[in-house]
Structure 1
Amino acid sequence: MRSILIYLFGFLILSGCQNNSKKVAQPAIKEATEKIFPDKLVDATIYEVNIRQYTPEGTFKAFEEHLPRLQKLGVKVLWLMPINPISEKNRKGELGSYYAPSDYTAVNPEFGTLDDFKHLLKKAHEMGFYLIIDWVPNHTGRDHKWIKEHPEYYIHDKNGDITYEAMSPTDIWWDTALLNHKNPATRKAMINAMRFWVDLGIDGFRLDHGCGDKIPLYLWEEARAALDPIRDLFWLAECGHETFILDGSYADEYESEMRQVASGEEPADVLSNWIDEDMFKYGRTHFRMTYTSNHDLNSWNGTVFERFGSKNKAFAALVFTAYGFPLILGGQEVGMDKRLEFFQKDTINWTDPKGMEPFYQSLVKLRKDNPALWAGDAGGFPISIENNENVIGFIREVEGNKVIGLFNFSDENQTIEITKRDAYGTYSDYFTGESYTLNDEGFELKPEQYLVFKE
């Protein structure tokens, strides 16, 4: 859809120039069918990479050795958590926060050299991955060179001192210096820094704390105007719908509701209701990133086993089938059962003691192979097919491809009535191969049972 609009816009511009007596060489117009971001990610899974914790070495080179495994897993987008050097002043813990950068146009020496990063980027592209980097626009670290060279780039307190970000009276980021994006010079400097990485060939940005009271949306309007013409880019915001000028955003509320359902505080219906409301209010073209874990949830709220218990697989299957653009946190695919330390070294265990990797590989493949499950308006509309508040049952269909999901998130047997005749039929469960028939008779789901049928 977006590619067609760009084609038409370019055609109108070029048509308006035809009467100009001075002939100017015109850029080639892309074919209307050529996909650009986000359209070329409709069937993709995004994968979050913590370079520091990924390997004992914690380097780009060491992570590169995992690319064949990730290719087999089937993920398409590699999101690297911040790779910039970390400020020393007011540093938290032994190694500091990735989100307190001291230089926007350099790499953390702990991870290797800029040439090492370039090699990783080149290898990832050769293997068919897209690679995006985490970008921290809200603040710098306390020893970024801008603090001395351009103090006007920052927000100052009543005493004239550069201030910091504070999420609450008890959650104060002393290691940060808060940027003032109302200043056009700040925005220009930020965009120039981003251009450095675009010129290297990255495929986009995950924008940390990318909107809110400190980040004006015109920053991203200006950034896209400056950077999109250089290279096709994917823009993912760590915030909600207000950033529809970008390509994707977090579905934080969805994960919060999942936790309520997992604990029994809310019935499963709240999840299907949330999906309905999300589409109703904001449409279907924007990519909503859904997940059961990410780096913040893992470190500060707990592992998927802490938050979802024995239902963690059921919720993961829901994320990959019901709605959105799914994320896997690095380590999640091998059953990572610990909260990774945020400010010091804490290597992921890749032995997969719970045997989870085949399960996540099957989820990625299920979604990729079935257009009904694709993101945005490329996928099928999720339509409820049952009437039990403790169960989520949906059908999604597009271009002859049909997927049905049934999820019992309660600890008891649940009987459901199939309310949509379109769902009637005999199917095999994607995960077990067992045969089931859906008709006008009652259908029984065991505690925590989840079934996915495809046709």
Structure 2
Amino acid sequence: MKKILVGLLILGLVLGCTPKEPVNTSKTVDELRLALADYDLKEILEDVNVAYQIFPISFATSDTDRLGDIRGIINKLDYLNDGDPDTDTDLGIQAIWLTPIYPSQTYHKYDILDYKAIDPKFGTLDDFKELLAEAHKRGIKVILDMVFNHTAYDHPWFKAALKGEQPYVSYYRIEEKLDLQEYPTRNAWKNAGGKFYYAWFWEKMPELNLENEAVREEIRDISKFWMDLGVDGFRFDAAKHAYNPDEYPVGTPVLERNLQFWMELRLFIKEYKPEMFLVSEIWDTAQNQAPYAHAYDTMFNFDFGEMVISALNVGNHGNLIQKHLDNVKRLTDRNPNYVDSPFLTNHDQNRVMSLFAGSVDKAKIAAGLLLTMPGLPFIYYGEEIGMLGVKPDERIREPMRWNDDITSEVAYWNQWIYNWETPNVIEQQADENSLWTHYRDLIKLRNTYADTFVWGELEQVTMRNSSVLGYYRFDENNRFLVVANFYNGPMVGEFDAEVFAKTEPIFTLGEVSIDADKINLSPRAMVVYRINP
């Protein structure tokens, strides 16, 4: 009997010491939606009015290798915001989003080899800590790109998975065979040594198995690592592709699984560090973004930029403000605390200045619309000086034109093909009529009246002219009227003479005058009026 008891005791100890598979205790989508309902972004973004996207390799270099790096970004923080609202040599932004800075074999770094390190070409972890400290001194929050859809092909996890090593085989979407009825679409499935792995974007980016609780725990651990360092926010890459329809067997509720994953991650992050800001890339229309309204604090508004660019190119506003309001309402109907993030173009799209065929006038109107919208607008680096670029991708990510000296802080890793003639930062800072000055002045206006422009109401008004757009921005303390001429010729709009009589111009582009109930605008003119009581 004693031997039996001793044997059972030893067996119990052995079993107790054996590592257990993670237990999935996931909440349902409905439970998560309820848990996330009260998260209000207003406190988190209290002092954040404009964000700026940096593509690190192209932004600024600190040495002679011509590669943009973290120290180069540190050296240019005063360009973004010097911490003094009375100076006029900085843009005045309050947040930067860095595309991936992790070790990778590509220039864009979206195929990550190590989620808890800095690519040596960009610097060190100590450099990044200094960036955080210096940015925070200036009132700038730092948002990191998080790529949880896929890893690099040469990531240690995937190397182990291809060798059949546990637990890493189940870290990825790997199948020994693909049944035609379960996987009728196989374009994104790649063959490696007789095994099939899923890679929707590129064969060198195998996709993680987010159904695996061990993978989710890895993601939580990665998130904690950067939150503990002092990062202020995450941008989630390719979020709608976390669960692709052809990635799982036919009949899998991929939308529900995708929502559950992202909402669960958001809840974890908010419980760990409530002040974190979470923005996501769901590259789709507002209608298709709507189910994700509780999954993130905000999503990039792809519809907005497309509507603005199209309207300016045809010279007709097409009621874009009302359409914009309808789009945002699709999300706020689902989550009243949702905040919009409009932008013009980003690192995956042809640059806005090229879409305007080099028209500075159109670019100025587009900037005026962007920077008077509610929410948190994002500016793509170089947009403020009118940098050009048309795909392939390297051409829309050309080096920032600080000056004409490619041996200076210019990160000349890639040639200027489209931007040899683009006026540089130094030239534009000295020109009171430049696009850069226009951006700076608009951002200053937004910062001055942040409560109204960031959080206030938006309402389109009728100007009885399809080329003249008018809209109110207002809250309990202020009311502004914005009017813009989309046409490359003088235009007249009509409005309420009593309202016009109470207006005071606080920002003007071009020539604008009021005559009773009429407003006369020169080609592509714009004005922001404060309406006095």
Which of the five TM-score ranges fits, normalised by the shorter chain? 0.7 to 0.9
Residue 514 of structure 2: aligned partner: 437
For 1:108-147, what aligned pairs fall within 5 Å after superposition?
A: 108-147=119-158
Are the structure 2 counterparts of residues 315 and 430 from structure 1 closer, same or farther at C-alpha, using a change threshold of 3 Å?
same
Residue 313 of structure 1: aligned partner: 364
Over the matched positions of the two proteins, sequence identity in percent amounts to 26
| 1:83 correspondence with 2:101 | yes
Residue 260 of structure 2: aligned partner: 218
Residue 278 of structure 2: aligned partner: 235
**AA in 2 matched with 1:189:** E
- Shift in Å, 1:420: 8.3
Residue 80 of structure 2: aligned partner: 70
Are the structure 2 counterparts of residues 191 and 421 from structure 1 closer, same or farther at C-alpha, using a change threshold of 3 Å?
farther
- Shift in Å, 1:125: 1.3
Write the distance in 2 (CA, Å) between the matches of 1:143 and 1:34: 38
| 1:247 correspondence with 2:247 | no
Write the distance in 2 (CA, Å) between the matches of 1:162 and 1:431: 56
Residue 416 of structure 2: aligned partner: none
Write the distance in 2 (CA, Å) between the matches of 1:434 and 1:256: 27
Provide TM-score, normalisation by structure 1: 0.81
Counterpart selection for 2:440 from 361, 365, 379: 361
**AA in 2 matched with 1:258:** V
- Shift in Å, 1:318: 0.6
What SS is found at the alignment partner of 1:175? coil
**AA in 2 matched with 1:163:** Y
CA RMSD of aligned residues (A): 3.0
Provide TM-score, normalisation by structure 2: 0.69
Q: Structure 1: which 5+ residue stretches go unaligned?
A: 1-8, 10-31, 89-94, 167-172
Write the distance in 1 (CA, Å) between the matches of 2:97 and 2:40: 27
For 1:370-381, what aligned pairs fall within 5 Å after superposition?
A: 370-371=449-450, 373-375=452-454, 378-381=455-458
Deviates more, 1:242-251 or 1:269-278: 269-278
Write the distance in 2 (CA, Å) between the matches of 1:80 and 1:254: 22
Say if 1:238 and 1:249, in contact at 8 Å, map to a contact too: yes
**AA in 2 matched with 1:37:** I
Q: Structure 2: which 5+ residue stretches go unaligned?
A: 1-34, 61-65, 82-89, 161-167, 179-193, 245-256, 283-288, 403-423, 429-433
Residue 222 of structure 2: aligned partner: 193
Residue 164 of structure 1: aligned partner: 199
**AA in 2 matched with 1:61:** R
Write the distance in 2 (CA, Å) between the matches of 1:49 and 1:280: 29
**AA in 2 matched with 1:36:** E
Residue 21 of structure 2: aligned partner: none
Say if 1:424 and 1:438, in contact at 8 Å, map to a contact too: no
Say if 2:290 and 2:330, in contact at 8 Å, map to a contact too: no
For 1:236-385, what aligned pairs fall within 5 Å after superposition?
A: 236-239=279-282, 240-245=289-294, 246-264=296-314, 267-283=316-332, 285-297=337-349, 301-307=350-356, 309=359, 310-338=361-389, 342=393, 346-350=398-402, 351-352=424-425, 353-354=427-428, 355-371=434-450, 373-375=452-454, 378-385=455-462
Write the distance in 2 (CA, Å) between the matches of 1:255 and 1:198: 31
**AA in 2 matched with 1:405:** V
Deviates more, 1:325-334 or 1:155-164: 155-164
**AA in 2 matched with 1:110:** K
- Shift in Å, 1:67: 0.9
Write the distance in 2 (CA, Å) between the matches of 1:444 and 1:144: 61
- Shift in Å, 1:209: 1.1
- Number of aligned residues: 405
What SS is found at the alignment partner of 2:355? helix
